[in-house]
Amino acid sequence: MQYFKGSHATLRDVREDFPIFREYPRLVYLDNAATTQKPEVVLDTLIRFYKSENSNVHRAVHRLAERATHLYETARHTIASFINSRPEEVVFTRGTTESLNLLAYSLSLIENYSAFIVPEFEHHSNFVPWQQLASRFGKEFVPLEIRGFEIDMESFERIIHGQKRPFVFAASGLTNSTGYRLPIDQVIRTVHKNGGVVVIDGAQLIPHEPFDFKQSGVDFLAFSAHKMVGPTGAGALVGKKELLEKLPPFNFGGEMIDRVELHDTTFAPVPQKFEAGTPNIAGTIAFAEAAEYLLSLDKANVSQHIRMLTSYCHELLSGIEGLRLLSPQDSHGIVSFTHERVHPHDVAEFLSRNLDVAVRSGHHCAQLQMRRLGVKSTCRASFYVYNTVEDVESLAAGIKQALRWFG
Ligand code: PMP
C-alpha cells in the first residue's frame, strides 16, 4: 500500500520512521488509544529546540526569543490548518484533560449556561469536570443514558428538546473504551436547533479522521498531541472565536493580561487570554511537527488501512470461543473484549510477557461505560498508522495461547 502522497513509500517505510520498533523488533504495539509512538522527526524537533532554539516566547526581543516565538506561533497556524480553524481559535494546553477542564470551568462561570449534558460512555476527562463543576456552580448535570456502547438517539432527542437554552452538550467523537463513532453531524444539528453548544472530545477522533472544524459547525474541540504521534504534555482547545471571546480565563498569570491595575486587570485577546505562564514550547512545536508528519501520509489510505485492521481484528477475535467483543461491529481503530473465564489483566500480562504484544486492560477511564456493559474491565487493542496485518494475527494467536495456558 502507498502511504505517502506522491511517493512510493510503504507501510514498512512508515514503521522505519519510528525508532521504538528498531529498539524492540518483536514489539506488537496495540495500545495506541492510550498513547502513540513517536517518529524520528518529532523527536528531532524536541532535541533541536532545546539544543539550538531554546528561549521563552512572547517576551524578549533577542534573536533566540524571536525565533522561539516564531516557531510557537507557526505551530498554531499548522494546528489550525490541520483541523481547518482560524489560528486565533487554537488555545494551546497540556492536552485534552486540561482543555476540557478549562472549558467546563469557564462555561460554569457564565450564568445563562444552565445545564451540562454528557453521555455515560465518556472518558472521565469529559465527564467528571462537567459533573463536579455543575455541582460547584449550581448548574444542572444531565448524564445521558446509553444503550450498550451507543447513544440512544431517542432519549438524546427527548432530553435536548426539553432543555432550557443555552446548554452544553459534551461528547467524544470516538469513544476510547469501545471505538464507537458519534453521529456528529446529527448531534450538532439537534443541539444547535435547540439552542445549545457542542463540545467534542476529539482525543481519539482527531488522530484518526480528517476533521473540518469550520465546516462541522462544532463549537469547541479538544485533543492531545501524544495520541497523534506527538509528545506528551501538549494539546489544544479549539473554539469558535466569538465564543472564546465571551469566556472568562481559567488561569491567571504572565502573558494573559492586557493591563494590570491595583484592583483590576484586563486580559489579552484570544487565544493568549487562556495561555497564562510559560507554555510547553518545545512540546507544542513538536505537536505541529507531528501534525505535519500525519499530513505527509495519504489520509484516505491510512484511514482505510486502520479500518481494515480493525475489521480483521473483529473477524479473528469473534472466532475465538468464550471471547465477547465489546465494540460496535464498525468500531474505528479500537476493539475491546473480555473472556468468560480469564481476567483481562491476565490476558494482557500473558500477551506482553510471552509475545511482546502490548494491549491495555482495565476500565479505560470509563467506569460508567463498563457498568453499562456489565463488566469491570476489558482488554483493548487499538491500532495506528504503523500497525500491520501480522500485528492483528499475533494478537489473535496470543489470545488463543493465553486461553490454553489459563485452561
Ligand atoms: N478523552 C478521551 C476520549 C481519551 O481517550 C483520553 C485519553 N485516553 C482523554 C480524553 C484524556 O486525554 P489526555 O490524557 O491526553 O488529557
Contacts (Cβ under 8 Å, ≥6 apart) of 317: 323, 325, 335, 337, 395, 396, 399
Q: Best substitution site from 92, 100, 118, 125 to test ligand 1's pocket, by max atoms within 8 Å of Cβ?
A: 125
Question: Is 379 noted as a catalytic residue in this protein?
Answer: no
Please name the fold of domain 44-295: Aspartate Aminotransferase; domain 2 (3.40.640)
Say yes or no: CB of residue 45 within 6 Å of ligand 1.
Answer: no
Q: What is the reported pLDDT for 357? A: 98
Where would I find the H helices in 240-298?
241-246, 281-296
Q: Which atom of ligand 1 is nearest to the CA of 94?
A: 16
Q: Which atom of ligand 1 is nearest to the CA of 365?
A: 8
Largest CA distance in the chain: 72
* All structural domains of the chain with their residue ranges: 11-30+298-406, 44-295
Q: What is the reported pLDDT for 342? A: 97
Rounded distance from Cα 202 to ligand 1 centre (Å)? 8
Say yes or no: CB of residue 126 within 6 Å of ligand 1.
Answer: yes
pTM value?
0.97
Beta bridge partners of 357: 28
Q: Best substitution site from 36, 97, 287 to test ligand 1's pocket, by max atoms within 8 Å of Cβ?
A: 97
Q: What is the pLDDT along the chain (407 residues), one digit of tens a residue?
A: 566 655 557 899 999 999 999 999 999 999 999 999 999 999 999 999 999 999 999 999 999 999 999 999 999 999 999 999 999 999 999 999 999 999 999 999 999 999 999 999 999 999 999 999 999 999 999 999 999 999 999 999 999 998 988 999 999 999 999 999 999 999 999 999 999 999 999 999 999 999 999 999 999 999 999 999 999 999 999 999 999 999 999 999 999 999 999 999 999 999 999 999 999 999 999 999 999 999 999 888 889 999 999 999 999 999 999 999 999 999 999 999 999 999 999 999 999 999 999 999 999 999 999 999 999 999 999 999 999 999 999 999 999 999 999 98
* C-alpha cell, 208: 484518526
Rounded distance from Cα 210 to ligand 1 centre (Å)? 18
Where would I find the H helices in 24-171?
40-48, 63-83, 96-108, 128-137, 153-161
Q: What is the reported pLDDT for 137? A: 97
Quick check: 189 and 219 in contact, CB under 8 A? Answer: no
CA angle 229, 174, 95 (to 5 degrees): 45
Q: What is the reported pLDDT for 1? A: 59
What Å distances lie between residue 364 and 200, 370, 379, CA to CA?
A: 18, 9, 9
Q: What is the reported pLDDT for 10? A: 87
* C-alpha cell, 135: 455541582
Catalytic residue among 34, 128, 243, 365: 365
CATH code for the part of the protein at 11-30+298-406: 3.90.1150.10
Say yes or no: CB of residue 172 within 6 Å of ligand 1.
Answer: yes
* C-alpha cell, 147: 444503550
Q: What is the reported pLDDT for 164? A: 86
Number of other CB atoms surrounding residue 260 within 10 Å = 10
Cα four-point dihedral sign 264, 270, 275, 278: negative
